[in-house]
Structure 1
């Protein structure tokens, strides 16, 4: 893990210098995992380890974010006295002015519908030297002037515009009939340049030097005026009017704005000199949540101005929300000002003012589509603070995932079947997709187009491979909208993903078994989406994409025996596969197109790669165009746990014949024989199918203990074995017995756990038997020759040591259990040698825990355990005391303690007593601490 920790720490360092408050989520586990190409769970573990090492601060935001302590202290010249903060604002207060928030955060929608626009503006203003000329295009009232002012502030914040830099505005429409006046104001003039020019006067370009010049309504410039500014845009130099000899310079950043379509009103030669055009969306094209936020902000500001509490009727609020504002944000703000003013007249000096429908501007009422069928709605008053809807309550994605989790938990408790879960998920996805298309929720059209284009390329790759599961253009559009909604609201569902990750993983595992073909397609699509940063890598997003794909293609049934067609030439195999899949109406064949000059080795290697990607499959049929079957066999034998049937000289007719028999669910040998008789082909059958050996770990109280048992066994094995150790649901196993699909896939060597599920012909080893090693011969036989007898003895000793360590990690506070366990191991070995005894596993385990705990107690000066008749013990067992003192000497020196005689007396009793405490409740008689291997 150290290398991963280093990668994670370096990434956090890079984000901790000039913190981007707008994208602070870049320092979350999900973002880091996507950036460095690691699993989110591994990154989370690494982050927690680095955090515990006091190298990171943790901010409990949504999502949780981390920053590097030393980097922040060095860069911001601060000293951090704490490493945990409840909110980002709390942390930013520690930085003071140095942690000032990005100025663009003042814009409603800065991190959603305006995000791309803001990125363009940032790029233009910080570009080296004088920035890049930029054109802001949008309807009146969309916020072009405000955006230009924020660009100026952002440039000052980033240090590319000096403190003395000015922001000057020129409204070009004012000069539409007097272009000469614009030129003199813009460039300045020399004395005598024209009548009335009595002295030299600097122009706007000179005054705006090192600042920003905002040229609003640029479409008002005559073509000749547009041409006059070309030279300045190209080289940053100009002549004053009346002086054609002297060149003047100005390092000014130019921002243009227009409400007209640029291509219709501006010279092409001017547009070529403006590399960035930002299209600001109209209010109607903004997200509905942003419209709500704008209404709230305007009312809140009015509340501050009038120094009164404002309330608005539910009906009036709906009219404000539903009205189409031709003047966009500007008109909305004016409507609210007018409404407040009308209400203020009727307030009669009261502390509250109430906005009803009759307080709204008359033209707003006349154009409203709201139906006035419930007068009570105009009497039900809302406080302004209640209009700030919570993210989750207004979030359909969160509602969808909440419903899915509830259904998943019902399935987990066997309240509903898997089929019921799929039916429920299809129903909720249908409602969710309707919402995305028909609700008032708006999305950024430009971002939607970009996303759709990217998805179209991804889907084209998958459509060819997974025919007939092909996604239409309409379905690509649905997927695009889902992903855009994910971009806005995924953080709110992250808590569900974290809390129910085990249940979600279990459901995904089950869905993979039942819907393996769709699962494979979902996996490949997810990987493309992860790589493109369109969705986060977490269990819930995985479940969402699979269920969405399943909803869109709910009528597609995959073949029970998969098939592969492999042929030389461009799209030969793909063409045959596509035709057959479409005629049959199921996905029968995948295709591998090989270059025409590929030899048999290349064919076999390509086929091997494809077979490795196929999951949960016992049989497969491969159709090849040419080559020796025997040669291919040599490369495939003993490599896969499946039977592989291969037929040569593939044709469309033969592939159709084979697919028909596959749909009829004939067995693989019948298919091969009949296909070759019907088509005069040859076949070979490689009978590799051998079930994977597994050891099952179960616990009737939950999966947590079963996982601990798996970890314990894996840590204790003296060498690797060709057997996997997996956890399995106890209730499922107990209910299904040997009818469980698990036994079709795996050869179960034995089951280990806390309770015997009583599976016929499958041995059971209890956790007590495993840890106490009561019968080494039994354990040896269960491993079926995968471990030698000596290795089984070593394994049993490791089990005791690792089990002791597991229990002690949570108990010991002072002593490092990993360090002391080695010393205790040497003590036990010396005791057995000096006493000429072989301790049982139970005795060894008890001594491990006993000695570690007595050392802990002795170090912290706890009262030594009292022992009845201690004097008698000292008189009668001087030799044992002397031996124990000798063996414990190194531990006493290492930890600077003295082991009291009372503890030695208990050790003596433990060794020589015939009664041993059972493993389920292992405890020393001097201590109340109960060591249980449980959740």
Structure 2
């Protein structure tokens, strides 16, 4: 038996009271206290034990809890609601936090399920033996007594006989009723300041007085779960929120996946079936409508709407209008019907959700949907979420420019290295179709075959699996109208130019096979897959940087550490309090004892508040021979950031630098989360016929059949020449709302818009050039979205128009047309160049510049002339080095199309 197993067995054996000390176990087993203490701390990290108190430190085993929690109510709930992973983990941590749990504040919009979540936490507490089976769960809606503080006090804390008019007997309050359980304060923002203040003492010490009592203090052991739809920082007193450290955000229905919404619908349908005691039949189109309709009041509205629809179906059944309790799409209210027409999901989603051979779903008390849904990644994270979180974090700390770029570049590379390593451990390609669906597998197979030919190498099975899951994640993100942003797109295009060009062609494969429009940013991620495939991926050992907080005061350090560890769901940071009456040498002596007892030999970052504590690091380095760094003026935010970085495996220097960069936020950043999407320009292809509108419609049908375009951007408009309005008047009317891309007509029209004859369309000769016009416009539209996330010093919308003119000028002079892949590269390069020069950035020297110019002198003059427009417009100087880099884009045959 290993030593740690023996320590664990002895801990369980000696656990009879409040806890067991390391010394007791050491004496019992004849081991050194330091080794036992180290093993006990490892058991705490593994979740097999919990640490209690500070002097002395006691340990309790939680093996029984771990075994029992394998299938708790929260775990079952999580299976169907993966978007609530963080919320559920926070809830679990709050319940298990020693000794009596941690008060919780639930934040979320109306109808997201805060009351239901509070009840789930209560059930979990019972399942984990934190509460007795019969412990109370008391609900109080603060809005009911918001305008009557006296009555509110008596409701919560009770009242003594005679305390106010009508108080004819002693009254027990809800706090006393909730003793030994949970008090759920719904709409806590409606609790007036006086009411919040009354909770201070109770939250701090667990004591209170009934209204009218002055000589008697009462106590109760109550866990508070509060809920609000408002911003806690503005709606609640800070002194109140500080006493509720665990704040849990519950996502709205629109933030949750289609799979979760489907599970909710099924759950509510089964509940109604149980109430009615009969099966409920729901048509396929009704399910689609429920999945797609706008539900502003979230889960609460969804449940209510389902109840109303079921009630109507039951009324039709009992009145003999229908033979069964059956819900058909035609019977749905109009606002639900509209969900069938929502274009938020594509047909492959329906194929995963519903068996198209069925006409009805049947729900009864025994029914369980047997539909397989995807967990996007093994750890619930993906590259997009990582970038979103990282960008928000860095920008909130004021990072920008090169610092931000370096951080993102490092994280992207680390992600792909880890991604391939993780895949190599878990891959089972035979099951991949069950995970992502047949259509994505087909797209990936085509991509792999195409890319192997272009790269002239065989791609690995790890690549096959990794790309399939990644593409699935990308498409799910697009379906939920969430942007795909690659901040390193231009750098990837430059460093991995071959892989990037292949990735651009792969986007076209994805669009064709999966019928979805992919942003250019995604090509950067696919290029990284190609670049990293075949590299030797080794498991990286994480740096084990310890975070130790030392601060003056009876509980200052431990309080900050408890808060940070709770929010991060860990026990990583260590807090050492330094009472004001304790000498510094006594504090450092305790610190040394702790380091020896726990066998700590790793690097340490000390977070201290002031004075002599800042010198502890030097003393520890000399005596223990370990590397340390110290940051003074510590705050809870510093502790959270340092702990998070250390857990991620960053080095001591990296953790130190990152923590130094933390701004001491005294006020919450007031950055609006609302983004106003610009309406994309509408484009039109006009089909003109002299023989009547029917012929023009026929021409339109030919174009629709053979052209590939986005209906949201492009429209084919048929018009006939017959009528009182002239053709030019009609074209001007169209141009009021749309830009005309080209015209199909049997005669020439006096306009600069490209024109094609009817015979060219009917013979399909014009299809290729028209498709090229569409592809170019699509490329520029996508580039607009991409550049918005790449540029810092110039407006992406306006610069794109200038770049378009710049490229057209060179094309016309050279009498060439570049293909869309080259167009993307040129536009991205020129935009980033202008942005860099505008921001005062440096210019990379072009090797053998003079000889390159002399060998391509005509091209040099053409590009230089086109650059003059940009120089004047943006007040920059495009040097010969930059001109040479641009020339390389136009100096290859593969740009032609």
TM-score surpassing 0.5? no
More RCO (CA 8 Å, sep 6+) = 2
- TM-score, length-normalised on structure 1? 0.37
